[in-house]
Chain A
Amino acid sequence: MIEKFEEWYRNRHEYQTDWKQRNPDKKMVGFFCTYTPEEIFYAFDILPVRVLGSHEIQDVTEPHIFAMFCPYCRDVLAQGLKGKYEYLDGITIGASCIHLRQAYFSWDIHRNPGWSHYLPMPGHVQSPRAIPFLKGEYELLIKKLEEWTGKTITDADLKRGISIMNDARRAMKKIYELRKQDAPPITGVESMYMTCAQFFTDAREFTPVAERVYDELQTRKLDRPVGKRLMLVGSENDDLEFIHMVETLAEREPVGATIVMEEHCTTTRYFWDEVDTSIEDPLEAIAERYVLRTPCPSKDWPRRSRLDRILQFGKDWNVDGAIVVQQKFCDPHEADIPFVRKHLESNGIPTYFLEFDVTTAVGPFAIRVEAFLETLEAEEDLF
């Protein structure tokens, strides 16, 4: 069953066009950042799907986004400009970094599917004023969605949206728990196929598969050495080629590794936190969830709250080291990285830094990761 995730990841467009055919009366909205309240879209019976890049070289975005903005936002925009998402009914973004906003803006100008919404998402998430503000924004969004769909929604619909998303989150978290084992039954590559597949699919179809995978993983034994237990920390990352390279190093070299945990917006920053269902007002509960989730660094101030969670992940998943990765030109992460590294290292987790582009120079990166793994061996020898 676990291969289903890879299949969904690789064939996202096929899945989504098929979904449209199966649900001719329903709408599908592409979202650009994980600060989009998917619960509200599900409440309207609209399917939210995240738009990720394709890791292909392209030359169509140059007139729209100039060179100092991250390759990821250009890759995302290229998907729209090249017409890969013509089946979407709408696009939306819950505001976080300004790089990705540009992909949304240019898409909105040049490929508007007929409905679009920019959701101001508070930056000062540590302020008590953030939740009421966001609730106000959600009310505007709901009004706009009501006008678009001709439907009105009730608290019961919102609660249904919440439970759809919470179920998917819980299913993935259960699988993540298994990665704590000495020999994790799921690799980092498989795990990332799973979290990204969730973006691309209907959560109501995703969750039962994830639950079955969880059952299968109870008895699954992988015929590969675990090697060093690594954690990935940093910006948007679905660079599966890189993860695959790291996890197959042992086939070619005397050292090897398994990715057992990540802190990315394609993985735990996205799904780790659930909506608190004990809060009576569902809209407030959703707002609270997005305000209190592990933040994108652009919203993580005045206190750098991410650090504690990253360290806790490192300890709970018993990692030997962390690879801190960053999309080239990603300002929010660039402002945090020296402190993330310092925090991990002063707490006994060695780190290594890599800068990612649309394509990865796997060869040179392999040499660097191998060298990092060797330093981890050397450190162990001291004891």
Chain B
Amino acid sequence: MAKYPTEPLKCWSKAKELREKFYREFSEAHEKGGLRWMGSAWAHDAIPQGLGRDVKCITGEPYGASCAFDRPLSAEFLAATENYGFARDLCSYMRNYWGSILVNKYALGGEFPKADFAFSQHICCSHAKWYQNACELEGGDVPLFAIDVGAGPYPPFAPKLYEHRVKYVQEQLLDAIDWLEKVTNRTYDDELFLECVWNDVRSTHTWAKICMLNRAVPAPLDEKSIYSLYVFGTLQKSHPEFADFYEELYDEVTDRVQRGIAACPTEQARVMSDTQPPWGFLRIYRYLESWGAVSIGSLYTFGLEGMWLYDDERDEFEPRPMPAEKPKTREEGCMLLADWHLSKPEYQHFYHPEYKTRMMAAMAKHWGVNGIILHYNRGCEGLSVGIAENRLGLLKRGFKVMTYEGNMGDEREFDEKATETRIDIFLEALGLQKPE
């Protein structure tokens, strides 16, 4: 019963290659005389990249998700962290990551490549603790620098961007550069840093523009595919090839919209999700599609590595415009990075769930969403904080909302059958018919 034409994404294999190359480069960095660092996907990764082009990183969240894809391997990692004495309700990415170190296995093959230093940011209770403990588990001699970004909400959720807030982050970033020079004995390359800052801005801006294209009916992208594409922002936003790739992808998705190419040829209803999915069970998205429901994205996939601004007066949610000028000095580069990332949509709910509800409601409205599916993700307290209030806020605004409990990285906490039953009930209430 196809309503719309569909075709696979042309850049799919390129995306796969880029991702594999990224993980390989991390494990092979030392052989090429380079350095390795570990840190959060939300880190200002342009900062360590100013140390040289041979500096490679691994970001814990996408790595943890990769582990979760491989369920038997993940089970081994999770058991190792529990045996070490860690509670099983901690962030499941983090537990998969620590488990990799403890078992000494790299999810992409071989032994776990030890990092030379750790560089992260900190907004939930776990980010900096993750690498503090990873450093300890890697032998106690890996130094850590983390940037606290818990500096308060960004306008319009605060009356203005207070100077002391953005300076707090900027100055930590400047301190981090001095620290990096000290722990690596390298001279920092400001020119390279500024190039990386611009790549970061370019990739996070372009990603938001790509997501804007999903306002089209039929949606050119479905969320299961979006997961494979947004990942570059989580791997390394400042990577020149990733920024270029997003520009290519933007052209391709624009072309799909112009030609009316659908991600889901049977699209009848549109849903949006929230928080990371249970990675080992992405087939639930295909289950939705079997009903004719396409998930067009989420504040999570749009706003974790895409930069947006919410407009209060127009109740609009649009990509944050690129800065008028490129930064010219280290100070300007750090200021831009600090300011740019403080506006991250996925930071705002840490200060009040209402901010997130407003962005989600605007998304639901402008992307033509019929129902909202919230994942009460037991694996990530940071993105599920306030989610029950988001539900209440969205219901109050008249949206239809469904919830399910699960875990992004610990399959023991996800019940696929029960979730499908909930989806059945919800989609039927949206007026869809169960497929035969």
Interface positions of A (Cβ within 8 A of B): 63-69, 95, 97-99, 101-102, 105-106, 108-109, 118, 120-124, 127-130, 132-133, 135-137, 140, 297-298, 301-302, 304, 326, 328-329, 331-332, 334-339, 341
Contacts and interface: CB of A to CB of B under 8 A. Distances in A.
Contacts of B129: 297-298, 301, 332, 335-336
B126 A64 contact: no
Contacts of B91: 331
Given A64-B389, A124-B148, A328-B89, 12 more contacts: A66-B384, A68-B376, A68-B384, A99-B381, A101-B350, A118-B352, A129-B172, A132-B168, A136-B164, A140-B162, A332-B129, A335-B90
Nearest to A96: B125
Contacts of A95: 150
B386 interface: yes
Contact of A105 (B90, B145, B353, B405): B353
A124 B163 CA distance: 18
Given A122-B150, A123-B122, A98 B385 contact: yes
Closest 9 CB pairs of A and B: A136-B164, A124-B148, A338-B85, A133-B168, A335-B129, A123-B148, A334-B87, A298-B125, A302-B144
A43 B238 CA distance: 47
A304 B89 contact: no
A102 B382 CA distance: 11
A108 B352 CA distance: 9
A112 to B, nearest CB: 11
Given A129-B172, A334-B87, A136 B389 contact: no
B150 A331 contact: no
Contact of B405 (A67, A132, A328): A67
Given A65-B388, A123-B150, A129 B354 contact: no
B86 interface: yes
Nearest to A97: B125
B132 interface: yes
Nearest to B143: A302
B389 A133 contact: no
A334 B168 contact: no
B89 A101 contact: no
26 contacts: A63-B392, A66-B388, A67-B376, A67-B378, A69-B385, A98-B385, A99-B125, A101-B386, A102-B386, A105-B389, A108-B352, A122-B148, A123-B148, A124-B148, A127-B175, A129-B175, A135-B164, A301-B128, A302-B128, A302-B135, A331-B381, A334-B89, A335-B129, A337-B85, A338-B84, A338-B86
Interface string B183-201: 0000000000000000000
Contact of B132 (A65, A98, A304, A328): A304
A116 to B, nearest CB: 10
Interface in B126-174: 126, 128-130, 132-133, 135-136, 143-148, 150-152, 162-165, 167-168, 171-172
Contact of B125 (A132, A140, A304, A332): A332
Given A122-B148, A335-B133, A136 B392 contact: no
B35 to A, nearest CB: 18
B335 to A, nearest CB: 14
B387 interface: yes
Nearest to B89: A329
B351 interface: yes
Contacts of B212: none
B402 interface: no
A202 to B, nearest CB: 30
B124 interface: yes
A130 B389 CA distance: 31
A99 B145 CA distance: 25
B170 to A, nearest CB: 9
A130 B172 CA distance: 9
Contacts of A129: 167-168, 171-172, 175
A68 B375 CA distance: 13
A109 B354 contact: yes
Contact of A334 (B86, B147, B351): B86
A129 B334 CA distance: 15
A290 to B, nearest CB: 14
Nearest to B176: A127
A140 B89 CA distance: 36
A132 B164 contact: yes
Nearest to A331: B125
A120 B151 contact: yes
B176 to A, nearest CB: 10
A68 B122 contact: no
Contacts of A341: 85
Nearest to A125: B148
A341 B150 CA distance: 29
Contacts of B354: 105, 109
Nearest to A109: B389
Contacts of A98: 124-125, 350, 381-382, 385
Contact of A335 (B126, B163, B165, B350): B126
Contacts of B172: 124, 127, 129
A357 to B, nearest CB: 13
B126 A331 contact: yes
Contacts of B389: 64, 102, 105-106, 109
